[in-house]
Structure 1
Amino acid sequence: MAVFTAVSLDDLSQWIKQFPLGRALALQGISSGIDNSNFFLTTERGEFVLTIFENLGIKQLPFYVQLMRHLAERGIPVPAPVPNADGELVVTLQGKPAIIVSRLSGASQMDPQPVHCAEVGRMLARMHLAGQDFEMTQPNLRGLDWVGATAPQVLPFLSEAEAALLRTEVAFQSEFAATAGYAALARGPVHADLFRNNVMFEGERLTGCFDFYFAGVDTWLFDVAVTVNDWCIDLATGALDEARVRALLDAYHGARPFTPEERTAWQPLLRAAALRFWLSRLYDFHLPRAAELLTPHDPTHFERILRERIERTAPELPV
């Protein structure tokens, strides 16, 4: 989340009349993240979040927006999109598609303990199960095809050691994705970006998760790997904390048991999740876009995580 497109209360004064929210009273840009323009929006009817999409095409948006609505209707704590008077969820603002969603209560838990990780694991399993009957489909747009297309763009900026690691891991993941074991993995809609700053807590109680704009259909195990690689690590080294890993995996397994195929694929998928975010951060760091508020992420963080996953075996999935 960042602010690429500036918006003022005056800009909203007429636009917001199409929504059942009353007048816009306050608007504050959100600086975290780097993909869309996001604002906390206060209206006469309450607190909301306004998102202006900077990169996603209009044909891609229905998947994300309808997925959030689908999950919210099934009791998953996610932001609920607000329709306008015509029932539309995505409406143009400043020449770009925009959406208003409900604002979750609580705050991000940036120092998670096992109890928080268990809450996240349980919620993630419930989310996967709730998405099974979601009829729309869209591939993970940061999946292996994207990896193959993006890696050559960042290679010229890398050191010899970094380039060797990137080439080797892309080849490893391509080979693994061609196996029968990978093809047998359970699939469905995934969040694909369930980091600490995308989940809200009040104390030890999880109140919701948000930022579904990297969602797509992929293996559920990839979603678990992305989540473990953020929630269950020592940030300084990228090493996994076994107590937090066990808490998250056991809670997930209690709601949606892991399959034998997933247990076999666990170590490679942890590497795939690390590669995806190392590559995206390399791209954003070396080929940045202009933004009014921009917080670029350090690519070396996920390089450390990827090397850790290659060199050390992670705790296994529960049986």
Structure 2
Amino acid sequence: MVQEGRVVQKRGIGKDAEPTVKQAINEFDVLADVIRQYYDLGDIETPRQLEDAHQRRHRKLVVNTSAGKFLVKTYRRDPVILDSLRFQHRLSDHLAENGIAVARIQRAKDGKGIVELDTWALELQAFVTGEPMQISQETLRIAAETLGRFHHVCRDIPCPPRDARMWRFSEVPRASFGQLYELAKTQGDEKLATDCCNDLALFLHEAAQKLNWDARNNFETGLIHGDYHGGNLLFDGNRLTALIDLEFAGAGCYLEDLAYALSNLSIRTAFADDRLTYRTNLLLDNYTRFRSLSYQEEVALYYAVGIKHVATVSYQLVQLGGELAGLNAIEWMQRLRQQCAWLAQRAAKR
């Protein structure tokens, strides 16, 4: 029996029998048989698990066939999951038709993008070669243009309903920020940590006012990617090979996507004011070739970037035991204070 991409052997007899997972080679052989049955791809090798890939939400494997190499994803056969997957497939097709590189969905013999079995389902995507984005002038330009084009070409695409004002990063969780502060006090001068904390708290308070529930009604909404960072932009040198991970795509505020991009691609690894200015201008200049920003969006953008950036650093630093990207908590507190001061100055110039 197969359950969610796993081969299960019953121990005992009847409904109370205990399931046990067979050896991986057996379950992968069953997946190969399913692919042979439902897809027209010629010879099928035994799939293997994709190394260094997150397996939390669904399982990811790689299979070689006569027709090429494919990424195999298995899911629980749940109506909500499958409806979301079908939307992602429609979006992927639309992006490809409009010149945005994506991982092509391989259709089964019946023309569908999802194969549904007893309690599980699977999809195949063309395997895309490439590495996560490395920041350079050219890759940053391409990433900005891709996001702008994404927002432009998807304006009229029907998408799953949700309240566009519900942002993933609308505020910094007090618990993780408090933990960051406590860590900083143990790793350096307590007064310095407190001064940084106070300055950041003032910035975050002002940001909360600029991004309050009513203010978000002034920002344009539409279909957004929802998780725009370098890990979801695969490059071969300076060529974008695919924009991936569309599972967070849906109705949202364009500003949320743009803030996510600026935080991850421009602010995260830039500390000097001139570097921050150069990267931010480069990203915004290329994004706005496809979509312009309103005055309200320009002002609020930098506060949204600051909230996302502080929230991410606070969480990751605690999870990683007090060090992130070679910097400890007190060093990050100083960097965050400097970066948020730059963001506040930038907002004031709008």
Q: Distance in 2 between matches of 1:209 and 1:242?
A: 26
Unaligned regions of 5+ residues in structure 2, if any?
7-23, 184-196
1:28-84 deviation per Cα after TM superposition (whole angstroms, max 9, x unaligned) = 413244643323332221122222347983443333333222222322111122232
Q: Distance in 1 between matches of 2:292 and 2:169?
A: 30
**Residue number in structure 1 paired with 2:89:** 65
Q: Distance in 2 between matches of 1:136 and 1:311?
A: 37
**Residue number in structure 2 paired with 1:31:** 52
Are residues 1:47 and 2:69 paired?
A: yes
User: 1:109: Cα distance to partner?
Assistant: 3.0
Matches within 5 A, 1:296-315: 310-313=340-343
User: 1:271: Cα distance to partner?
Assistant: 2.8
Structure 1 residue corresponding to 2:110, chosen from 86, 94, 118 = 86
Structure 2 counterpart SS, 1:49: strand
Are residues 1:19 and 2:39 paired?
A: yes
Matches within 5 A, 1:200-219: 200-219=234-253
User: 1:193: Cα distance to partner?
Assistant: 1.7
| Range that drifts further, 189-198 or 88-97 | 88-97
**Residue number in structure 2 paired with 1:292:** none
1:107-146 deviation per Cα after TM superposition (whole angstroms, max 9, x unaligned) = 3233x11221011001111111111121122438994489
Q: Is the contact between residue 228 and residue 248 of structure 1 (CA under 8 Å) also seen in structure 2?
A: yes
Q: Distance in 1 between matches of 2:259 and 2:272?
A: 13
Matches within 5 A, 1:140-289: 143-144=166-167, 158=179, 161=182, 175-233=209-267, 235=269, 241-274=276-309, 277=312
1:222-260 deviation per Cα after TM superposition (whole angstroms, max 9, x unaligned) = 111111212224548698633222211111112222222
1:278-317 deviation per Cα after TM superposition (whole angstroms, max 9, x unaligned) = 587589879xxxxxxxxxx99x89x868655544326859
Amino acid in the other structure paired with 1:260:
Y
Q: Is the contact between residue 63 and residue 138 of structure 1 (CA under 8 Å) also seen in structure 2?
A: no
Aligned residues: 303
**Residue number in structure 1 paired with 2:127:** 103
User: 1:218: Cα distance to partner?
Assistant: 1.3
Q: Is the contact between residue 180 and residue 314 of structure 2 (CA under 8 Å) also seen in structure 1?
A: no
**Residue number in structure 1 paired with 2:144:** 121
Pick the structure with greater CA Rg: 2
Structure 2 counterpart SS, 1:48: strand
Amino acid in the other structure paired with 2:297:
E
Amino acid in the other structure paired with 1:88:
K
Q: Is the contact between residue 222 and residue 273 of structure 1 (CA under 8 Å) also seen in structure 2?
A: no
Amino acid in the other structure paired with 2:158:
E
Q: Distance in 1 between matches of 2:173 and 2:73?
A: 29
Q: Is the contact between residue 169 and residue 311 of structure 2 (CA under 8 Å) also seen in structure 1?
A: no
Q: Distance in 2 between matches of 1:228 and 1:183?
A: 22
Q: Distance in 2 between matches of 1:192 and 1:84?
A: 28
Q: Distance in 1 between matches of 2:51 and 2:278?
A: 33
Q: Distance in 1 between matches of 2:136 and 2:240?
A: 13
Q: Distance in 2 between matches of 1:167 and 1:51?
A: 42
For normalisation by structure 1, the TM-score amounts to 0.73
Greater RCO (CA < 8 Å, at least 6 residues apart): 1
Amino acid in the other structure paired with 1:44:
S
1:179-222 deviation per Cα after TM superposition (whole angstroms, max 9, x unaligned) = 55421212112112222121122322222211112222211121
> Among the aligned pairs, what percent are the same residue?
20
| Range that drifts further, 307-316 or 41-50 | 307-316
Q: Distance in 2 between matches of 1:92 and 1:141?
A: 31
Q: Distance in 2 between matches of 1:24 and 1:169?
A: 56
Q: Quote the RMSD (CA, aligned, Å).
A: 4.4
Q: Distance in 1 between matches of 2:268 and 2:169?
A: 28
User: 1:161: Cα distance to partner?
Assistant: 4.8
Q: Is the contact between residue 165 and residue 213 of structure 2 (CA under 8 Å) also seen in structure 1?
A: no
